[in-house]
Amino acid sequence: MSKKDPVKMNTSSTSRYHFGISGLQRTLLLFVVLPLVLFTALGIRFGLGQASQFQEQRLKNDLELIGRAISIPVGTALDKGDMHAVELALGSVFVLGEVYGASVFDVAGNRIASAGITETDLTGTTIPDRIRTTGEGQEAFSRVAGRSLFSHFLPLFDAAGQIQGLIQITRRASDFGHALQQLTIIAWLVWGSFSLVILAGVLLGHYGGVGRHVDKLLKHMQRVAGGDLSHRAALDGPSEVASLARGLNHMLDSIEQAHRDLDEHRAAETQLVARLKDNEKMVAIGSMARGIAHELGAPLSVIDGRARRLERSGSLDEQQLRNVAGIRSQVGRLTRTVRQLLDYCRPAATQPRELTPQVLIEGVIEAIRPELEAGDRSLQTRIPADLPAFCGDAGRLELALLNLLRNALQASTSQIGIAAEADAQSLTIRVSDDGPGLPAEHDLSTLLEPFFTTKSPGEGTGLGLAIVQAVAEEHGGHLSLANQAGGGCEARLQLPLTGNTKEATA
């Protein structure tokens, strides 16, 4: 998938976040607002139900009180047979304004007197029987003259305490609903307003507290998806959003570090492959050089021996002696080349032992002194007598120092120098000359390559510094070259004072 696709997807999701309802907002509405609204609706419904039952019971109690209030005068009037008094007592209930009708029935359910709308006959109902049986009031809903009524029946007692009839007090059944209608409307209006306030509060609170910070985080992620891996999200907003931003930044840091590690690994792998190729090439060259050196060594010894014998025979004139001397000189040069090839190609089987720097360096100076005298060069030395002893292979170190001194001798104009110093960690031997110095167009790695030389053809094999580098690595040290401020070159061979050879370490 290309990078444009996720960027486009993130852009559309951000647009939905601004102009619609985001997934987080839908979750809040579904799991917070909706349950809260439903619970409040159930609470209001339950409360209205309780209020309705309370109001209905109150209205029923009012009818019962009215019936009890007129039952005594009605019963007394019945005992006296005064129907006019009965009708007056029945008519008095309308003064309260809550009664729709009132009637008096005998014990069989026949109506005796009435006022308003009531039942005309109760003989076909069980109400008279229940009143006679229980002696208590009864309640019933009925439909009279097309109207739904609620009736409360009470027994009427004579002077002897016997039931002589019953009284009915009615009111419209709709009165029970009308009493709570206004309260119900107000309650649901309040519930609707409360729900809208909750909805607006949740949405606005979410955007102000979380949404806008999530929006910023989405914009940061959009930049990262666009390829800007160096961008980092701001750590603002609630702790959870800040933690997400911190996690995003940590992930980007890890990705960036992984890219750097991968680049470094690739570079190291490239260098390793190049070194392996160079090593393979040098192994091949070394094998060939070792074979050539062995093939040339014996013939050169024979040529030098016979030339020396002719030189000592006494039968040669002066010109012939000069020719023989030239032969021996060229044989010597070839012999030195063969020796360098063998020194470079033979395995580095070091034999470490404790060495004194002063003794080692003085031995090397004595070995090269004839070449110094032949080249008319002076040697400046600065070798302290209190240099600490160290462990190394004397033969390999002498070979390295001889190559350094010989290079300095060949590059110098009048003098060379050798100095040594030590600290708590290493011994440093410096070999300097007053020649033209190192060429600026070649770096150290090039100068240390085998068979590379800045000398004219026929004047060097290019193995001297390579041999010194190999000996330094065998002893755990390193070789460095630098031009001096006053002219000339300085070679610095640094050797560790402890654990300095591979053999000793092993």
Asked if 393 and 501 count as a contact pair (C-beta separation under 8 A), the reply is yes
Tell me, what's the pLDDT at 420? 92
Listed in sequence order, the DSSP H helices in 122-173 are 127-134
- How far CA 29 is from CA of 22, 126, 196, 198, 302, in Å, comes to 11, 56, 12, 10, 106
Could you tell me the CA-to-CA distances from 263 to 259, 266, 267, 393, 397 in Å, in that order?
A: 6, 5, 6, 40, 39
Bridge partner residues of 418 (DSSP): 381, 431
Is residue 325 included in any domain, yes or no?
no
Cα 289 from Cα 219, distance rounded (Å): 66
Q: Which of 458, 339, 467 lies closest to 404 in space, CA to CA?
A: 467
Which structural domain, as residue segments, surrounds residue 435?
350-505
Those residues with Cβ within 8 angstroms of residue 237's Cβ, 6 or more apart along the chain or in another chain: 210, 212, 213, 214, 216, 217, 245
Is residue 318 in some structural domain? no
pLDDT tens for 465-505 read: 777 888 888 888 988 888 888 888 888 999 998 754 554 44
For 238-265, b/e burial (b = at least 16 CB within 10 A) is eeebbebbeebbeebeeeeeeeeeeeee
Q: What is the pLDDT of residue 462?
A: 60
Give the domain-ending residue among 164, 196, 231.
231
CA distances from 455 to 181, 440, 443, 461 (A): 117, 15, 16, 9
Beta pairing partners, 479? 493
Helix (H, G, I), strand (E, B) or coil at 443: coil
Identify whether residues 227 and 355 lie together within a single domain: no
Q: What is the pTM of this model?
A: 0.41
Same domain, 10 and 149: yes
Q: Are residues 223 and 369 in the same domain?
A: no
C-alpha distances (whole Å) from 94 to each of 60, 119, 424, 489 are: 16, 17, 124, 135
Q: In the numeric block, which tokens belong to residue 126? A: 């069980």
Residue 341 maps to a domain: no
The gap from C-alpha 92 to its chain's centroid, in whole angstroms, comes to: 88
Kind of pairing, strands 111-116 and 390-392? unpaired
The pLDDT of residue 506:
44
Q: What is the pLDDT of residue 55?
A: 75
Q: What share of the chain is helix, strand, coil (3-state, %, to 5)?
A: 60, 15, 25
Residue 417: predicted pLDDT: 92
Residue 42 lies in a domain: yes
Closest CA to 218 of 205, 201, 233, 237: 233
Question: In this structure, is residue 109 part of a structural domain?
Answer: yes
Q: Which residues contact 127 (CB under 8 A, 6 or more apart)?
A: 109, 138, 140, 153, 166
Instruction: Check whether residue 226 and residue 366 sit in a common domain.
Output: no
Residue 167 in tokens: 């009284």
User: Are the CB atoms for 420 and 382 separated by under 8 Å?
Assistant: yes
Residue 326, in any domain of the structure: no
Please report how the helices 174-206 and 34-80 are oriented relative to each other, as an axis angle in degrees rounded to 10. Answer: 170
Residue that is last in its domain, among 204, 231, 258: 231
In terms of domains, do 222 and 354 share one? Answer: no
Specify which residues 81 forms β-bridges with.
none
End residue of a domain, out of 198, 231, 264: 231
CA distance 391 to 496: 9
pLDDT score recorded for residue 428: 93
Ordered per-residue pLDDT tens for the chain, 506 residues: 444 444 343 444 444 444 466 777 788 788 888 888 898 889 888 888 888 788 778 778 878 888 888 888 888 888 888 888 888 888 877 766 667 788 899 888 898 888 887 788 888 888 899 988 888 888 888 887 777 788 889 998 887 888 888 988 888 767 666 667 778 888 899 999 988 988 888 888 777 777 777 777 777 777 777 777 777 777 777 777 778 778 778 888 888 888 888 989 999 898 888 878 766 766 676 676 667 666 776 777 778 788 888 878 877 788 888 887 778 777 776 776 666 666 655 555 567 888 889 999 998 898 888 888 888 888 998 999 888 988 988 888 888 888 889 888 888 888 999 999 998 889 999 999 988 887 766 665 566 666 556 555 445 556 667 778 888 888 889 888 888 888 888 889 999 987 545 544 44
Strand locations in 69-221 (E): 101-106, 111-116, 138-144, 147-157, 163-172
- Residue 96: which residues within 8 A CB-CB, separation 6 or more? 66
Same domain (yes/no): 219, 354: no
Contact 91, 103 (CB under 8 A): no
For residue 309, give the amino acid letter: R
In degrees and rounded to multiples of 5, residue 110 shows phi and psi of -85, 135
Q: Note whether residue 237 is domain-resident.
A: no
Distances (CA, A) of 50 to 55, 57, 352: 9, 11, 106
Pair (166, 29) in one structural domain: yes
CATH number of the domain enclosing 427: 3.30.565.10
Q: CATH no. for residue 170?
A: 3.30.450.20
Other beta carbons within 10 angstroms of residue 43's beta carbon come to: 12
Q: How many domains is the chain partitioned into structurally?
A: 2
Residue 424 maps to a domain: yes
The kind and range of the H/E element at 471 are helix 464-474
3-state secondary structure 191-205: HHHHHHHHHHHHHHH
If you search the block for the tokens 């070259």, which residue do you land on? 481
